[in-house]
Each structure stands twice: as C-alpha cells, then as structure tokens.
Amino acid sequence: MAAALAAACLGGRLELPVRASELEEDHRLSMEFVTPHTKWAQPYAQGKTRVLVFINGGTEKLGTLARETIELKQRFDLDAAAVYTILPFRAKERWLHGEAGVERLLELLDQPWDCYVLYQIPLELVPDEGRAKLLAAVAAGSGLVMVGTDEQHVLKPGNLLESLPDFLAHGTPFTGLPFVWESVLKGLEPGQATSAEAARRMMSTYDIENGRGVRLIARPDLGGQSVSRGSGGGPSSVDGVCHAPHQVGPTLCRGQDACAGVYRWRRHKTLGRAIRDPATRDH
C-alpha cells in the first residue's frame, strides 16, 4: 500500500501482474450473443479448421474487428483464437496486456494451426521468436492469409500462382457488395465487372514451400470501427444484422447491404482449409 501511494504521489506507474483469468477473458471469443445467420458450414464435414488470428483490438476497448471472428465462428466450424494488438503502438504495450500477452502469443504459436491470419497487421510486428515459429509452420504446410499487407519476402513474386483456384475466382458473389462496385470494379464496363474480375483484383495466391499464402486487399473504410456503413452511409449488415463490438449484442438493420469485412472473413475459413488440403493445390 505504501509503495502504491508513493508511486501515485510521485507520478510513477505501478505495474501490477495480469491475472491469467483476466488475460484469457480479454481474448475470449464470446459466443454468448448469437446474431441471425446462416450456418454455411456448421458443422463442417471435414471437421474443425484451426485458425489463429492476429488483429487490431482497438485502443482502450476492443473494436468491432474482434466481432468479425465471432460472426465467422457462428457460420463455420472454426476452432479459432485471437491475438490483439493495441493502437497506437507503444514499445512495451504493442500487444494486449504487454509481456503477458506476448507470452500467450508464443504459447499459441507452439500449437498446430491450419491457418494463420494477419488482419492488417504487418508480420514484422510479431516478435522474432513468434515470427520464426509462424513461418516454419506455414513452410511445413499450414496456410497464411495476409489482409492489407504486402510481405514480399514471404509472398514472393516468383511464387505467385498464375490464376486463382476456381473456388476463389467464382465462389463468392462479390458483385453483390456495394464497396466492390465503388472501388474494385469502379469504371469497368458492365460486361467486365464480374465477380471473377473482382476476385482477381482483390486477392492473389502464392506457394510457400509446402504451404500456401493468400493476400487480400485492405479492409475497406466503412465509416469507422464502431458501426460499419453501406453505400448510402447507413448501417451495413450480414444476414440482416449490424454486428456490434466484442461484448455488445446485435442491432437489427433495415438495410440489406452485406458488411464487407465479415463477408470477406467467410473466405478466410475456406482459404485455410484449401491451403492445407492437398487436393486443392492442383486447381
């Protein structure tokens, strides 16, 4: 008590250890709030896909990006875990809960994962030891999805696949998303503005030794993290729902626009399975 008072009076900062329960609770992908959704692959015939997600957790509180992983878990048979960065980056607190968060990150990387997702998080931010573990796992056969980053020493131009696998090129109706028309397909003639063309412009696939990598363009700016916005400036939705942050319930929407971030996350699950499934490597 005396030490705490002295630190407060002197303007110092007293670092208290993070309880294990607090560490896990703050990283928990809560399934308590169930939003209206379609179970696209829940359960999945080939079993659960294990995905480790590196994603921005916001500033003081977790933002809506964390909710996107939860929305995917509702729709697909995922065994997922998340590791959160904190913005703005600070030398000692780049990851949620600082050193304790880094220890958790390294422990997770000791486990086997089908796919690693760097959601607008540069690979260089991952601690050296963790980065080595991740890349070794990918080289051994796991998948790597990078959203909005370009790591050419990993996704090497010489290893770029000439064409997208068919399930990526034709598996998602991108033309149903307003942001695709406003950005990716903007200016094209109607006959050229196809979902396949959008897929070609939005993603690329690479061989990484025995694994495979996928790069997607950055998540579009939908009007801030607190609420996603559609083409008309109003709330956006998937399955008729606006998805709220980590510990907030859903808000029903009138709009029918698909939330681009969540929709694209649907692809990540499929990519993870495809990356590690030898049968898909021939397509």
Q: Place 88 in a pLDDT band, splitting at 50, 70 and 90.
A: low
Residue 277: pLDDT over 60:
no
Q: Strand pairing of 211-216 and 115-119?
A: unpaired
Q: Place 18 in a pLDDT band, splitting at 50, 70 and 90.
A: low
What residues are paired with 55 via a beta bridge? 84, 119
8 A C-beta contact, residue 63 and residue 57: yes
3-class secondary structure, 204:
strand
Q: Buried b vs exposed e over 183-208: b needs ≥16 C-beta within 10 Å?
A: bbbeeeeeeebbbbbbbeebbbbbeb
Look-up: residue for tokens 């000439």? 162
Residue 101: pLDDT over 90:
no
Residue 59: pLDDT over 80:
no
Give the tokens for residue 53. 């997600």
What residues are paired with 189 via a beta bridge? none
Query: According to DSSP H, which parts of 76-177 are helical?
Result: 98-109, 128-140, 166-170
The mean pLDDT value for 234-253 works out to: 32
Residue 102: pLDDT over 80:
yes
Residue 4: pLDDT over 70:
no
The mean pLDDT value for 130-146 works out to: 97
Residue 61 or residue 212, greater confidence: 212
Q: Which tens digits make up the pLDDT trace of 152-204?
A: 999 999 999 999 999 899 988 999 888 899 999 999 998 899 999 999 999 99
Give the tokens for residue 8. 């407060």
Q: Strand pairing of 211-216 and 251-252?
A: unpaired
Residue 209: pLDDT over 90:
yes
CA distance 109 to 92: 20
Q: Which of 78-87, 175-184, 203-212 is predicted most confidently?
A: 203-212
Report pLDDT for 65.
73
Q: Looking at 33-37, 61-65, 116-120, 156-160, which range is the least confident one? A: 61-65
Residue 118: pLDDT over 80:
yes
The mean pLDDT value for 57-81 works out to: 78
In CATH, what number does 20-174+195-221+260-282 get? 3.40.50
Report pLDDT for 265.
36
Count of beta carbons in the 10 Å neighbourhood of residue 91? 6
Q: Looking at 22-26, 32-36, 127-131, 223-227, which range is the least confident one? A: 223-227
> Alpha-carbon torsion 8, 13, 14, 20, what sign?
positive
Give the tokens for residue 80. 């997922």
- Give the pTM: 0.72
Residue 255: pLDDT over 60:
no
The mean pLDDT value for 250-267 works out to: 32
